[in-house]
Homo-oligomer: A and B are copies of this chain.
């Protein structure tokens, strides 16, 4: 127990600042009945809908490094990875809470800039900050966001519905985030030619629109977001559905990059696309009979068929230039050394 009213006011000041920054994202007809400043936030849930909840943490030194992450980018990404989880259920995100532990020496502008980034993305997707917790950390920044969303039970898409013969699709381009991260680690000076890849790592755009599109049209049998990498997340989907898969290497939408940038990388672009994590694209399966209904793009984001579901549980294969090899889950792992 420490007696420090001066420090208390620092916490109150923080809350006030967060409130001001997020005021801009309050919806015109908000369903938020009570937010920051009481013991809990309260809001209305639409009748006949399921509530969705998802939590994802970002830990300094594990998920990010301030040598290459600006506070606004970190705020954006912390919310983006959570919105992506709601998109991956076919749901509509509504509210979120933030929990942040900061070292005592943290510049107060860091918090302001962090919430500016959070708010930039929140406004884009019409979600509201409902509350949270800010406290001290002995060392390192710890960020945990929880996003709440809703979905009609009939529209909800889990991971377990893929059936043999279903076609496998991915949105956007893959590997950009992992390649961007490798470039950022090489030099904190961001080169112009890196920008597309680096942006994918720092400010991923969650595919909320595609998630809702698949849900409302009843198109996908299973859906997951690509946070751990295609090889790992495909494994998760197949494991939940009790099926296997074959992926065609030449169909994988590898993130575009110039030969000079490619030369800076340790691995081959295809390897990043298959095993690199944090692209936050969607991976989904569609019954053969509905293949005509899947558009080739949605809102400027390409949709690509990359393979097919098979009936061999947990057997994932990768077909490249006439040879077929086992596809093992080799994506990003937060328990490995970073």
Residues of A within 8 A of B (CB): 1-5, 7-8, 10-11, 33-34, 37-45, 47, 49-57, 59-63, 84-86, 88-89, 91, 95, 97-99, 101, 104, 130-133, 135-140, 142, 144, 146-149, 151, 153, 156, 158-160, 178, 181-182, 223-225, 229, 232, 240, 272, 275-277, 328-338
Contact = CB atoms under 8 A, between A and B. Distances in A.
Contacts of A135: 57, 59, 62-63, 334-335
Contact of A33 (B153, B181, B224): B153
Contact of A133 (B55, B140, B275, B330): B55
A332 B277 CA distance: 41
Contact of A8 (B56, B132, B146, B329): B329
A306 to B, nearest CB: 19
B101 A142 contact: yes
Contact of A240 (B37, B55, B159): B37
Contacts of A52: 40-42
Nearest to A130: B53
B41 A137 contact: no
A38 B4 contact: no
A229 to B, nearest CB: 8
Nearest to A240: B37
Given A1-B272, A3-B275, A5-B330, A45 B51 contact: yes
Contact of A136 (B11, B59, B144, B148): B59
Contacts of A38: 89, 158-160, 240
A149 B181 CA distance: 39
A328 B3 CA distance: 10
12 contacts: A2-B337, A5-B329, A8-B331, A38-B159, A38-B240, A39-B54, A43-B51, A44-B50, A45-B51, A53-B131, A55-B131, A59-B142
Given A1-B182, A52-B42, A275-B3, A333 B8 contact: yes
Nearest to A47: B47
Contact of A142 (B33, B142, B225, B338): B142
Contacts of A43: 50-51, 53
Most buried by B among A10, A53, A104, A139: A53
A4 B332 CA distance: 8
A49 B132 CA distance: 21
A226 to B, nearest CB: 11
B11 A335 contact: yes
A6 to B, nearest CB: 9
Contact of A146 (B44, B53, B86): B53
Contacts of A62: 101, 135-138
Contacts of A137: 59, 61-62, 140, 142
Contacts of A156: 33-34, 42
Contacts of A41: 52-54
